[in-house]
Every structure is written in structure tokens, then in C-alpha cells.
């Protein structure tokens, strides 16, 4: 039995805590959050206790921690957990500063604990099937990737102000998908160009961010990727990509609540895509937590590491620089 604590009782912390409570061989012992009422409500719901982070880290019975707290707390909590000898699952990003993220990874390695970063899209069953077919050589060598990533609405401005911006908060997932799909053979990005606009809400621009972006990447081997994003898709959470190979094409489409299609005189009607990421990636969140504990049990490497987090963060920083200066960035 693995004993675990969750740090953070917000929306992502609640998802992870709920999945942990249903996972065989795992006992959710503590929920920790400065907002005591949120922690108490979640702990009571799942049969856990409210914990203090320092006390939890000092508790020898706790094997691992799951960090779903605000971004600004991630690297500090990772470092403290590693020093306490706890294995770590942490939501992206490791830190908004690449040097601090690198230092964090070094401290984890020195402590000899395992640390997995939460890039849940790698665990989505549809996306995983694309990766499996690429590995099987079904479309030959992958050459081009097009990613469409559109949120149904912008987060509150207060969140945007502390998020690090759209490239570090939203597109970091797309940069990880880019590396996962096009760079599985050790290839990496060599060149990046990004631009952004404020088209959905002037308050986003006043906060110093964009709400629509377009990014182009070229790898060392010459593969190309285009990523288009927006904070406003009136029709739902739009998550698609297609990869072109030497002998064919693979597409990963949206999820909808049902697959029912109605045909009548006015046209063909279907459900909109899922509302947002908690619904769209529900299975992926469950599968990534299962993977974390399976690897702790078996000693197998994680699919997503601190190094993956650092590399995605480097791309996010380069995109922010390119959008700010209007110039491409050599990597």
C-alpha cells in the first residue's frame, strides 16, 4: 500500500484526489491547502484528513505527494518533498523560471526520489493510439504536425496575471505534444516563430498577455509543426491534431458527449465538443496517476519527467520572446 498526500484542493487537486481515492493499492491520507475550508471539504468527501505540509513531509508513513497547487508553489514544494524523501507527482510547469526548473530537477536527482510531471495529454487514449501507430510505422517517418488547441473561454484576469502568460500556461501542453509526436527519436526543436493577438477580451491585453496565438516550429531534422490557439471557441473545447508521414496521415479528433448524429431537412446535427479540459481529459488524468504508481511499484521510468517539463518550458519562453520581439528564435 502506498500512502499519499495531495497538495492543493482546487479544481486540479480535486481531480487527482478523487482518482487517488479510487486507485487500488493507494491510500489518500492527507489533503493540504492554505484554504482550510476547501481542504476540509475534499478530505471529508474522500475519507482523508486535513494536513499541514510540513507535518506531512516529516511523516515517515507518507510515500508520495501529488502537487496540484498554484504554479508559483511548484518548485518549492518539489524541492521540499525531495529533501524529505518523498516521491513526487507535480502538475506542469515545474517553475516559470527555466533556471529554477533545472535546479529543481538537479535537487530531485540528488535526493534519489522519483518525480513525474503532469502532461496528461500523453495519456489520452486517442492521442496514445496515434503514438502507437507512429511507433508501428503505419505512416512512415513523421514530417509535419498541425495542432489545434482552443479553449472555450478565457480564465479570470487574476489568473492570467500570475500564470506566466498563454505560452507558458496553455501552450506548454502543445509544446509537449509536439516533442512527444515529432521528436520521439531524439530530434528537438531548432527554430521557432510565434505571434499573438488580443481578439477576445481587451482585459487580457491589459494584463500583458495574448488570447490568440500561432506558432511554427522546425526541428533539427527539418520536421515542421504549426500550433494555433485561442481562448475563445464558442462551440466548445477544441483539441485536435494531425500528423503527416511519408506514407500517410493520422488524425486525432475531438471528443463529444455522444456520437449520435441527427440528419434532417435543416442539415446534420451533432454534439459540441466536451465543455473543457476536466471533461475532455478525464480518462487521461486517471491514467497518468495510475502510471505514476505503477512505475513506483515496478521501477520503470516515467513517461513524463522533470526534463520534459524543462524542455517544454524552454519552448514556451522562446515563443513568448518571439511574439514580443516579432523575430524568430534559434534554439
Q: Residue 313 — φ and ψ, nearest 5°?
A: -65, -40
DSSP 305: B
Closest CA to 302 of 105, 101, 47: 105
Rounded average pLDDT over 145-157: 95
Q: Residue 233 — φ and ψ, nearest 5°?
A: -125, 105
| Structural domains of the chain, ranges and CATH numbers in brackets | 2-113 (3.40.50.720), 122-330 (3.30.360.10)
Q: What is the pLDDT of residue 117?
A: 98
Rounded average pLDDT over 192-216: 96
pLDDT greater than 90 at residue 138: yes
Q: What is the pLDDT of residue 294?
A: 97
The percentage of the chain sitting over the pLDDT mark of 70, rounded to a whole number, equals 100
With cut-offs at 50, 70 and 90, classify the pLDDT of residue 93. Answer: very high
Rounded average pLDDT over 142-153: 98
**Per-residue pLDDT tens for 211-263?**
999 999 999 999 999 999 999 999 999 999 999 999 999 999 999 999 999 99
Q: Supply the mean pLDDT for the chain.
A: 96
Q: What is the pLDDT of residue 36?
A: 78
- Cis omega before residue 167 (within 30°)? no
Task: Please check whether residue 49 is in contact with residue 29, taking contact to mean a CB–CB distance below 8 angstroms.
Answer: yes
Rounded average pLDDT over 120-141: 98
Closest CA to 280 of 252, 243, 311, 248: 252
With cut-offs at 50, 70 and 90, classify the pLDDT of residue 90. Answer: very high
Sheet strands (E) in the chain: 2-7, 26-32, 49-50, 64-67, 87-91, 115-118, 142-150, 189-197, 212-219, 224-230, 238-245, 248-252, 261-264, 267-270, 329-330
**Per-residue pLDDT tens for 17-76?**
999 999 999 999 999 998 879 999 999 999 999 999 999 999 999 999 999 999 999 999
**Per-residue pLDDT tens for 303-329?**
999 999 999 999 999 999 999 999 999
User: Cβ neighbours of residue 264 under 8 Å, at least 6 residues apart?
Assistant: none
Amino acid at each position: 500500500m502506498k500512502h499519499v498526500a495531495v497538495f492543493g484542493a482546487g479544481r486540479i487537486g480535486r481531480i487527482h484526489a478523487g482518482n487517488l481515492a479510487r486507485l487500488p493499492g493507494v491510500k489518500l491520507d492527507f489533503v493540504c491547502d492554505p484554504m482550510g475550508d476547501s481542504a476540509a471539504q475534499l478530505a471529508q468527501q474522500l475519507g482523508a484528513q486535513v494536513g499541514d505540509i510540513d507535518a506531512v513531509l516529516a511523516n515517515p508513513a507518507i510515500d508520495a505527494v501529488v502537487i496540484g497547487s498554484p504554479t508559483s508553489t511548484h518548485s518549492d514544494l518539489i524541492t521540499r518533498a525531495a529533501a524529505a524523501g518523498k516521491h513526487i507527482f507535480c502538475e506542469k510547469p515545474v517553475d516559470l523560471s527555466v533556471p529554477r526548473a533545472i535546479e529543481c530537477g538537479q535537487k530531485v536527482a540528488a535526493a534519489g526520489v522519483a518525480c513525474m510531471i503532469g502532461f496528461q495529454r500523453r495519456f489520452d487514449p486517442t492521442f496514445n493510439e496515434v503514438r502507437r501507430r507512429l511507433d508501428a510505422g503505419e505512416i512512415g517517418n513523421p514530417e509535419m504536425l498541425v495542432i489545434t488547441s482552443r479553449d472555450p473561454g478565457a480564465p479570470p484576469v487574476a489568473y492570467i496575471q500570475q500564470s506566466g502568460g498563454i505560452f507558458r500556461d496553455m501552450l506548454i501542453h502543445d509544446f509537449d505534444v509536439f516533442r512527444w509526436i515529432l521528436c520521439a527519436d531524439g530530434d528537438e526543436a531548432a527554430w521557432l516563430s510565434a505571434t499573438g493577438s488580443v481578439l477576445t477580451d481587451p482585459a487580457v491585453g491589459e494584463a500583458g498577455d495574448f488570447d490568440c496565438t500561432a506558432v511554427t516550429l522546425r526541428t533539427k531534422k527539418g520536421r515542421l509543426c504549426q500550433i494555433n490557439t485561442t481562448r475563445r471557441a464558442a462551440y466548445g473545447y477544441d483539441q485536435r491534431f494531425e500528423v503527416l508521414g511519408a506514407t500517410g496521415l493520422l488524425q486525432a479528433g475531438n471528443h463529444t458527449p455522444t456520437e449520435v448524429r441527427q440528419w434532417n431537412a435543416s442539415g446534420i446535427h451533432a454534439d459540441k465538443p466536451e465543455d473543457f479540459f476536466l471533461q475532455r481529459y478525464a480518462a487521461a488524468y486517471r491514467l497518468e496517476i495510475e502510471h505514476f504508481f505503477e512505475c513506483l511499484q515496478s521501477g520503470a521510468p516515467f513517461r513524463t519527467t522533470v526534463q520534459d517539463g524543462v524542455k517544454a518550458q524552454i519552448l514556451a519562453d522562446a515563443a513568448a520572446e518571439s511574439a514580443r520581439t516579432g523575430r524568430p528564435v534559434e534554439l
